[in-house]
Amino acid sequence: MLASLLLLSLYQIAASEAVLVGDSGFVVTEVAGVQLGDATSGLRFISQQGRGKVSDDGYVHHRYLNGSADEVLDLVSYPGGSKGTFYRADVRQARPSDIGRLPHVSVPKFISGRGTTLGQNRVTIVALLGTPESTTEGDGLVTLVYRCSNKKRCPILKKVNMPSYEARYVFRAEELVEFSIGMPYP
């Protein structure tokens, strides 16, 4: 009973941090306390956790391992963005090459503002976010994709002056192994 109440409270808290996107689910704009498009939360996170900065594709990435070194958070800034302003957040399972290369943070799991964490099943994700816009399957993976380009339905787009929002949730054997939320670079 107590566990059910706690879970319900967590979902209610998570729901208050998301923006409704009609029937297609929710626009999730926060991971590990970093609000996309908000320099204050981004700067607070990188000042508390260390830099973790790499730049390998023309964008500025800040990558971190969670406390148990089994997850990676990749916060992405785009050219012309303010320092500490991240437009995309990717969470994936850690690879052996990440160990010793990326800084550890004191976060046990990287959790989105809607309560999304690696290891959840597809039913849970759809229950949290609604029906995806599209689903693709291949190479043993299933990917759920949520998109929004309407600034009235997705206020984050107006705030950060971006044309669209996209979220991808990748499953292997019904287990979430990776997710990406944010605004694609135009």
Global pTM reads 0.83
Q: Please list the pLDDT of the chain residue by residue as tens digits (186 residues).
A: 333 333 333 333 333 334 433 333 468 889 999 999 999 999 988 887 766 676 767 788 889 999 999 999 999 998 888 888 999 999 999 999 999 888 889 889 999 988 999 999 999 999 999 999 999 999 999 999 999 998 888 888 888 889 899 999 999 999 999 999 999 887
Those residues whose C-beta lies under 8 Å from the C-beta of residue 149, and which sit 6 or more positions away, are: 157, 163, 164, 165
d(CA 86, CA 149): 18
Beta carbons of 48 and 38 less than 8 angstroms apart:
no
Angle 93-174-135 (CA atoms, 0-180°, nearest 5)? 95
d(CA 126, CA 185): 26
Q: How many H-runs (helices) and E-runs (strands) does the chain carry? A: 4, 12
What is the token pair recorded at 63? 């990558």
